Structure 1
Amino acid sequence: MKIGLYFGTFNPIHIGHLIIANHMAENSDLDQIWMVVTPHNPLKNKKTILDDYQRLQLVFLATEDYPKIKPSDIEFKLTQPNYTVNTLAHLQDKYPQHEFALIMGEDNLKSFHKWKNHEVILQNHSIYVYPRIATETDAKQDLTIKNNPNIHTIDAPIVEISSTFIRENIKNKKNVRPLMPEKVWEYIDHNNLYKK
């Protein structure tokens, strides 16, 4: 089975994340998408980041009706700070029957050359790239990475919704219900999350 790993803090998960994950599941050769919830770095005092397990619960609620999309807490069990290359090695060791690929936005691909052991990742794994709104710096993209045969650009919809925008609007008592799956919105509302 070929599995696409979609990493994120998902703080909170929103319809933009789901649109991309579902598009990858339905319009690429990936069999499943695992939404890998990135653990909160305990050294960073970010009050805006929900507890790891609450964010995982939100991803579970958002994806339970999508058989091809699964929540993953795989990074919760790994030593922090963690690097993607280590997560991939751990997953390959734990699930040798699967092939793992990365899903990332075009903006992340630009800084990919700065990732720890990025050459090893690129040599052993495919990367599925979804578009973001272009900026002036896009012309400076490293073409050696972009033209690598393991990089697959997927013509996914461009969704400009951010978790930051959602959190700020909740704090300001604005209605953000349409931006999240219903069960996610209900959980956040019921538990008074992001209101302070």
Structure 2
Amino acid sequence: MNIGLFFGSFNPIHTGHLIIANTVVQCDDIDQVWFIISPQNPFKKSGNLLNEIDRLRMVEAAIEDNFDLRASDVEFRMPKPSYTADTLAYLTDKHPTHKFKVIVGQDNLKNFSRWKNHEVILNQHGLIVYPRPGASPSGLTELPTVSVIEAPLLDISATFIRSSIAGNKSIRYLVPDPVIELIQARKYYQ
């Protein structure tokens, strides 16, 4: 099975994430997209990060009716911060019949050379790149292991969503209704 891995904090998951995942799973060579909830991104501060279990619950609620999408807590049991290369090695060992590709926004390509074992990621797995507003072109997109997909240009910010919640403003249409229900019931980001 060919799996696209969508790494992120998903703090919270929003419709932009879901549109990208759904677009990727429509690609001819991808069977499923797995959301890898990262407990801690090595390039981000964890200051306003909701508990990883709560973020996993929100992802599960957002994708519960789509069998092409899965939520994964694989990084919860790995050393922190999480490194994509380590997670890929673990998943490849655990699922030897699967092929994994990393889904990444075009804006992340400028720092891709700073990723741990970025050459291994490129050579053994490959990237699926989706467009991002204002992203600069990258020579990486010319490599045979890098696929650039057509997808809507989305600029939905989880920071904006959290700020809206804290300000008691509506986040309708920014996140799926089951996620809104979880956020309200558990008072996330308030």
Per the TM superposition, whether the score is higher than 0.5 is yes
2:155 corresponds to which residue? 160
The residue identity in structure 1 corresponding to 2:58 is L
Q: Deviations over 1:120-178 (max 9, x none)?
A: 1111012100000125xx25x3x2x2211001000011111111010001111111122
What is the distance in 2 between the residues matched to 1:50 and 1:82? 16
**What is the correspondence of 1:41-80 to structure 2 with a 5 Å cutoff?**
46=47, 48-80=48-80
1:94 corresponds to which residue? 94
Q: Deviations over 1:94-143 (max 9, x none)?
A: 000100100000011121111111111111012100000125xx25x3x2
Provide the secondary structure at the position in 2 that maps to 1:71: strand
TM-score w.r.t. structure 2 length? 0.94
Gaps of 5+ in 1: none
Gaps of 5+ in 2: none
Which one has the largest radius of gyration? 1
- Paired positions, count: 187
Deviation at 1:45, TM superposition (A): 5.6
Root-mean-square deviation (CA, aligned residues, Å) is 1.3
TM-score w.r.t. structure 1 length? 0.91
**What is the correspondence of 1:117-196 to structure 2 with a 5 Å cutoff?**
117-135=117-135, 138=136, 141=138, 143=139, 145-195=140-190
The residue identity in structure 1 corresponding to 2:177 is E
**What is the correspondence of 1:18-37 to structure 2 with a 5 Å cutoff?**
18-37=18-37
What is the distance in 2 between the residues matched to 1:15 and 1:111? 25
The residue identity in structure 1 corresponding to 2:183 is I
What is the distance in 1 between the residues matched to 2:71 and 2:46? 25
Q: After TM superposition, which residue ranges in structure 1, 4 or more long, deviate above 2 angstroms?
A: none
Deviation at 1:82, TM superposition (A): 2.6
What is the distance in 2 between the residues matched to 1:62 and 1:89? 27
Q: How has the CA–CA distance of structure 1 residues 155 and 15 changed in structure 2, closer, same or farther, with 3 Å as cutoff? A: same
Provide the secondary structure at the position in 2 that maps to 1:20: helix
1:81 corresponds to which residue? 81
